[in-house]
Structure 1
Amino acid sequence: HGVNLRAQPPELAEAADPTAAFRSYFEDLRRGATRNTDLKLVLVGNGRVGKTTLKHCLVHGVPPPEPIRERTHGIDATTLGWPAGGEEFRVTIWDLAGQEIYHTMHRFLLHPRVVFLLLWAEETEETDPRELHPVSYWLDLIGQLGSGSVTILVKTQIDRGQKHGTRPPELVGVEDPVVAEAAVSAAQGRGIGALRETISEEIVRFRDRWGYLLPTSWLAVRAEVERLRDSGHRELPFAQFEQLCTVHDARHPRILADYLGQSGFLFYRPGHFGDRLILDQDWLLERIYAVFDPRSQIRQRILRAGGSLFADDTASVWPDHDPHERQVFLGFLTGAELAFHVEGSDPAEYVVPALLPEAPPPFRPGTGSDDLWLEVRFGTLHRALIERLIVRLSGMSPHRRWWRDGIDIEAPDRSWQASVEAWWERNALRVHIHPLRASPGGATTQRQVAASLLRLIRSTLPGAEPVIAGSLDGVVYIDLEKLEQARVAGNPRCVDRSGQVCDVAHFAALPTRAELERAGGENLIPEERPMTAEPQKLRIFVSYAHEDKELKKVLMKRLEGIARSHPIESWDDSKILAGTLVHEEILKGLNAADITLLLISPDFVTSDYCWTQEMEIALQQYEREGKLPVPIIVRRTPEWHEAKIGQHLALPKDGRWLTAWPSPDDFWGEVEEGLRDLIRDLMEKRGIPPKRY
């Protein structure tokens, strides 16, 4: 097409099918294009380094009238126009909380081709040594989570004195990805103008990284989605998003939704959030951050429960939200690998690794002569890595042996056990593999387990190249590459990790790194745990006239029977608690429903509320989102089918009312059979698995 591939949206390469994504992009590009001018400016650094004060200066042009003492908990984002190089960019400035408890979540806000302002100061008011990370820690985090980005190093709080220049001593003479440096006192407004000029220069200098072409149709859909968000819409069903794409001639809605999600414009992951797009990221993140906020009661509650959150408790955790919204929050926690659902738990249990107990379990894998230890060392070990590994390995820990810094696992056939835990003082993961029974292929199995775990670690933190050392006793470790070099050179001696000279022959049973990477056979560790929340359910709303209350009770009994074999959740106005607003609760139930059952009778037709409100909402939902309104003819109701609802298939299928059947059981049996068919069909379309007994 004569277009530079490197100047295209990088998110397309992250799509499930990159080839289809690029093909769709170029097809839509032919019909009109505009250069992207949206950009993220992300402020990162330790707590109390001055990010919030600097953001105020960049947004308002002046320091805040009073010193900002309150910590940022979570995120704070502001969008504004930013002139640079004769163009007007739309820049969203993100202030990310510096406390380590939030770092795991930040990876969902860090995307390729972002401008980072990495703040550091010689002195701050932070007193907790655990929160005083070196600048190299943040550079490593940016490199892992924001590849392709631009980093500007900003020294802050220069009014407190300056012993060093704009670079901290640890970076002097060290090669790093920093493209520019600045020094400011945001509290006094010093250096802000120069910093703005530096930011503008870098935006222009690296323009090709974000100034790619976007199809006009994509921009039109994005503008419409933004309008919906600004008017108060928090979510958008994918069916409605498809309609927007049709209106604006964007031919591949899944590709466009994937791009908008990957670029950070909204949250979208196929199969999550009930196949909806989350438009209001702040709304969702505020509820999620509340789980981790040290000040919140939610966090304290989960800590007291040993890191567990139960589905039955979510109504009190998020009291101002309906069941659908609470399911969205749980779906984000699991889909983002901030929590995992314990398979088979009833009530459903979710474990949050960041809030697990600090102490390891009392019973750990044993040791033996055939054991193998690995030290997987990084430049900086981030807590996010161990937490994600706990999530991904949780399905292999049947005895729930997980804690804040690690997890013990075992083979399904109990042929081996292993542990993976953080070794903070060495910036490493410590892996221990312990065979439980001898086998002719014992060494091969050890290497397969080790190779599988290393593949999992790499897939969890792509792009990282750790140094790997091995040990036969868990005490003396030797770098596997150095061991291989000594073997190839025929050297009888080598230096271990502690600097001591040792015999190469002592490590004869250790595999080399190359041997681990070449290890074939079955992958014994799943590289990604299925990121599912509580098993997805279809929600059914029952609309009826109160004169038909007894008939409604019979229907609810039938639905209870269906629920034993199908993942459904039924709702009617009897679920409304005393003291709540009836109309609002009914609207919540209707809006959350996938299927609305309408008990048609003369009283239903003459009820203004049933006929003109509940039924009308059900019909509108069908037109907008494809949700199913299902009329059930419980009493003879002449000419009901001439209304708009008459265009929909009724139950029983021949439209005969209850007393026209030989017996009530015949009538309700036919209704139940029809409902089961509808539910199975909808489950198949939504990809919802059958309920397990």
Structure 2
Amino acid sequence: MTNEELLEVIEEAKASGVTRLDLRYKRITVLPREICQLTSLTRLDLGYNNLTTLPPELFQLPNLTELYLSYNKLTVLPQELFELRNLTGLGLGGLSLSALPSELFQLTKLKELWLEGNQLTTLPPEICQLTKLEELILDNNPLTSPPLEIAEKGIEAIRQYFSSLKAGVASLNEVKVLLVGDGAAGKTSLVKQLLGEAFDQHEDTTHGISIRGWDVEAGGQPIKVNIWDFGGQEIMHATHQFFLSKRSLYVLVLDGRKDERAEYWLRHIESFGGDSPVLIVLNKHDANPSFDLNRPFLLGKYPVIKGICRTSCADGHGIGRFRDALLKELAQVPMIGIRWPQSWFAVKQRIEQMGKPYISREEYGDLCADAGLAGEENRSTLVDFLHDLGVAVHFKDYILNATHVLDPVWVTNAVYKLINAEQTADSKGRLRLDSLCAILPQGREEPYSYPACTHAYVIELMRKFQLCWRVGEEAVLIPQLLPVPEPPFTFDYSGSLGFVLHYHSFLPPSVMPRFLVKRHGQIKPDLCWRTGAVLRDQASGSEAVIKADTEARRIYLWVNGPRRKEYLSFLWFSLREINSSFEKLAVSERIPMPDDKDVTADYQTLLDSVQDGIERIRPDGAKRAYSVKELLGQVELKPEEKKSFVEMLNSVVEIKAMPPFVDINISELFKIVLATQKGK
């Protein structure tokens, strides 16, 4: 917007006496002093422009109560800003602020304060002086005090945190290190080398997980390390979602004797661990000294890789260098610098000394009360921290929330035994609930005991993480153990509506099992296998086939029936919901050509073409150009079809009231449904 155009807007606003003015995304570089003529303004939004300074006249607006300056190029916040004592809303996001000016806390009428996208590492206790503050947005800041987990819970959690600090504070100095990789890569032997234990060439394979403690000094400070050694059996990869967490340190161990899948594991780590640092270990150097990776390529593609080490646990080669690299990275993990109230440490210490595999929520509450830890937000945040550190396992779920598992090995061992039980494999994944007593050991002499009262919790945990679904009242079905061969069935592919999801670099192994669990109620009898299923929506009579090609990293959908577009949207939404639970998962959603199903066009590219005024497009491999509008018409829903889709979705999940339908595409509709489902 030019200065002349902006002056015209101001003149029109003055003439009409507007009280709210939105000037976002106008590419404004200079705000004219004539802005002071808008004396009726109560709200002014100047976000997402190129302002480097603000005229003093802006701060003379007598009725201004909301001012939003986010995502400009302001290098200094003018002192006049803090004279606006009647402000109830202030936006300062994306301004590269590394600290908050003390004058900010004089704006005691603030109810909303937006500080997202800055460089804030600490939040001063003076924030509590803003007693009327109801909403404080701190997303995308490198906060360590208060911890990000607390900041994300909102201003009340922050107030409780600062209140608890009055009784004393200390640095956490504890971190979780996770070793992942294929089975028999030597992860357990590597852990033993770090701990100074002897190498055993007949080391048993790790089943589930093994957790060891390691006290070290790194960066001039003592650090307690919780080392998690994950079993590499492929059938257990989907259970990693229980425990892979952010703000940890990952060690990817590759077997030098094999053609290892480095990128598979890097994507696996990225999906759950986000930007957590990774060390790669090329193990068993003694067996294959020439084994290596394309280091420049991987380091360029995955910035989280902090080093690549060669080791041999058999002869000790490279162990010292790996240890040094590990200690260097440990000192830089963000979790290390977090400060905890003394009451939190007291609760943590009591839990670690209990020697019980699990406690009830009530027992946890009593521990907190005894330690002087008040406030539900504080208690909830602490148990989340204990989960990330590996001290306890906690899940936010109505049923699961009733129990806090204090020994992660206890619950992982149970899941491992159930999935790998001979009777489960023999019955093609069907697990009878009355067989749990025979599969899960009980008794004081057992290292891990599972009395009957714990069985419901274990099954509910598996259901929550979509590892199984109920079959009547007497059994569950584990999709990872379904038959591999596709059973015979009939389906009219020629007249069907098709859709393809192409996972660019990584198709997480849990996507298809989770989809089968989510939509198990619509699977036709005996028509599901390990990588696909035939489904039917009883209400509409529509049918669908879904198949995963793991090598090609694609999932295919075909839908037939009177409401096939709505049913396709329903199944597409289910996959979108699963995909959104992974970090940085790149997926291309593609529409097949009507006369050549092997050629597809990216859905988002088609939407962008509409925005750019492009009417026809020739996808890669196509022999001719196609109408963009007609291709989108294969999947886009008309208003009445959108209502039908939401009704279909409401039959399986509870979502909050939808806003009135406007002219939005199906992708935007998905976002609205996901947001309302989460209550955002």
Q: TM-score range by the shorter chain?
A: 0.5 to 0.7
Contact 2:386 2:392 in 1 (8 A): yes
Superposed displacement of residue 242, structure 1: 1.0
Q: Distance in 2 between matches of 1:460 and 1:366?
A: 33
The aligned counterpart of 2:535 is: 409
Q: Which of 345, 362, 370 is the matching residue for 1:247?
A: 370
2:290 maps to 1:163 = yes
The 3 A distance-change label for structure 1 pair 160 and 409 is same
The aligned counterpart of 2:402 is: 275
2:191 maps to 1:191 = no
SS in 2 for 1:256: helix
Superposed displacement of residue 170, structure 1: 6.3
The 3 A distance-change label for structure 1 pair 384 and 110 is same
The letter of the residue matching 2:576 is R
Contact 1:483 1:512 in 2 (8 A): no
The 3 A distance-change label for structure 1 pair 357 and 23 is farther
Superposed displacement of residue 208, structure 1: 3.2
Contact 1:372 1:446 in 2 (8 A): no
The 3 A distance-change label for structure 1 pair 288 and 450 is closer
2:282 maps to 1:145 = no
The two structures have a TM-score, normalised by structure 1, of 0.65
Q: Distance in 1 between matches of 2:143 and 2:533?
A: 41
2:154 maps to 1:29 = no
Aligned length: 499
The letter of the residue matching 1:81 is D
The letter of the residue matching 2:349 is A
The 3 A distance-change label for structure 1 pair 164 and 220 is same
* CA deviation profile, 1:419-466 (whole Å, cap 9, x unmatched): 3332112112222222x226xxx65x3663365234323334354221
Contact 1:364 1:408 in 2 (8 A): no
The 3 A distance-change label for structure 1 pair 186 and 503 is same
The aligned counterpart of 2:232 is: 98
The aligned counterpart of 1:81 is: 215
SS in 1 for 2:590: strand
SS in 2 for 1:202: helix
Q: Which of 247, 258, 266 is the matching residue for 1:113?
A: 247
SS in 1 for 2:343: helix
Q: Distance in 2 between matches of 1:29 and 1:301?
A: 53
2:562 maps to 1:437 = yes
The 3 A distance-change label for structure 1 pair 529 and 100 is farther
Q: Which of 456, 471, 475 is the matching residue for 1:327?
A: 456
Contact 1:410 1:417 in 2 (8 A): yes
Superposed displacement of residue 478, structure 1: 3.0
The 3 A distance-change label for structure 1 pair 243 and 365 is farther
Superposed displacement of residue 12, structure 1: 4.5
2:435 maps to 1:313 = yes
Structure with bigger RCO (C-alpha 8 Å, 6+ apart): 1
Q: Distance in 2 between matches of 1:39 and 1:513?
A: 50
Q: Distance in 2 between matches of 1:20 and 1:515?
A: 42
2:186 maps to 1:50 = yes
The letter of the residue matching 1:246 is A
Superposed displacement of residue 18, structure 1: 5.5
SS in 2 for 1:476: strand
Structure 1 range deviating more: 485-494 or 77-86: 485-494
The 3 A distance-change label for structure 1 pair 400 and 57 is same
The 3 A distance-change label for structure 1 pair 408 and 49 is same
The two structures have a TM-score, normalised by structure 2, of 0.66
Q: Distance in 2 between matches of 1:47 and 1:520?
A: 47
Gaps of 5+ in 2: 1-122, 126-140, 443-449, 655-680
The 3 A distance-change label for structure 1 pair 450 and 99 is closer
The 3 A distance-change label for structure 1 pair 407 and 34 is farther
SS in 2 for 1:383: coil
Superposed displacement of residue 223, structure 1: 0.8
Contact 1:28 1:217 in 2 (8 A): yes
* CA deviation profile, 1:524-582 (whole Å, cap 9, x unmatched): 4479979xxxxxxxxxxxxxxxxxxxxxxxxxxxxxxxxxxxxxxxxxxxxxxxxxxxx
Q: Distance in 1 between matches of 2:516 and 2:223?
A: 41
Q: Distance in 2 between matches of 1:97 and 1:517?
A: 49
* CA deviation profile, 1:125-155 (whole Å, cap 9, x unmatched): xxxxxxx652010110110011131111222
2:39 maps to 1:39 = no
The 3 A distance-change label for structure 1 pair 139 and 526 is farther
Superposed displacement of residue 387, structure 1: 1.4
The letter of the residue matching 2:479 is P
The 3 A distance-change label for structure 1 pair 33 and 167 is farther
Superposed displacement of residue 174, structure 1: 3.9
Contact 2:208 2:413 in 1 (8 A): yes
* CA deviation profile, 1:289-323 (whole Å, cap 9, x unmatched): 11234xxxx2x211222311122222222252432
The 3 A distance-change label for structure 1 pair 526 and 142 is farther
SS in 2 for 1:511: helix
The aligned counterpart of 1:494 is: 618
The aligned counterpart of 1:379 is: 505
The 3 A distance-change label for structure 1 pair 24 and 419 is farther
Q: Which of 455, 466, 484 is the matching residue for 2:587?
A: 466
Gaps of 5+ in 1: 125-131, 531-693
2:345 maps to 1:219 = yes
The within-5 A match list for 1:597-616 is: none
Q: Distance in 2 between matches of 1:63 and 1:39?
A: 25
The within-5 A match list for 1:498-647 is: 500-505=621-626, 509-511=630-632, 521=643, 522-523=645-646, 524-525=648-649
Superposed displacement of residue 476, structure 1: 3.1
* CA deviation profile, 1:173-220 (whole Å, cap 9, x unmatched): 64542122222222111211111111111122x243442112211111
Q: Which of 335, 338, 341 is the matching residue for 2:467?
A: 338
The 3 A distance-change label for structure 1 pair 448 and 22 is farther
The 3 A distance-change label for structure 1 pair 175 and 242 is closer
Superposed displacement of residue 89, structure 1: 0.5
The 3 A distance-change label for structure 1 pair 148 and 492 is closer
Contact 1:42 1:94 in 2 (8 A): yes
The 3 A distance-change label for structure 1 pair 174 and 237 is closer
Contact 1:480 1:512 in 2 (8 A): no
Q: Distance in 1 between matches of 2:169 and 2:634?
A: 48
The letter of the residue matching 2:423 is R
Q: Distance in 2 between matches of 1:73 and 1:239?
A: 32
The 3 A distance-change label for structure 1 pair 452 and 273 is closer
The aligned counterpart of 1:556 is: none
The letter of the residue matching 1:158 is H
The 3 A distance-change label for structure 1 pair 53 and 322 is closer
Contact 1:481 1:512 in 2 (8 A): no
Q: Distance in 2 between matches of 1:264 and 1:462?
A: 20
The letter of the residue matching 1:308 is R
Contact 1:53 1:68 in 2 (8 A): no
The letter of the residue matching 2:246 is P
Q: Distance in 2 between matches of 1:429 and 1:108?
A: 24
Q: Distance in 1 between matches of 2:558 and 2:260?
A: 28
The letter of the residue matching 1:494 is R
Contact 1:11 1:262 in 2 (8 A): no
Q: Percent identity, aligned pairs only?
A: 23
Contact 2:619 2:625 in 1 (8 A): no
RMSD of aligned residue pairs (Cα, Å): 3.3
The aligned counterpart of 1:303 is: 425
Q: Distance in 2 between matches of 1:10 and 1:201?
A: 23
2:573 maps to 1:452 = yes
The letter of the residue matching 2:371 is H
The aligned counterpart of 1:534 is: none
Q: Distance in 2 between matches of 1:305 and 1:19?
A: 52
The letter of the residue matching 1:49 is A
SS in 2 for 1:113: coil
Contact 2:417 2:440 in 1 (8 A): no
The 3 A distance-change label for structure 1 pair 313 and 292 is closer
Contact 1:39 1:89 in 2 (8 A): yes
Q: Distance in 2 between matches of 1:455 and 1:420?
A: 14
SS in 1 for 2:204: coil
* CA deviation profile, 1:225-249 (whole Å, cap 9, x unmatched): 11113xxx12212112111111111
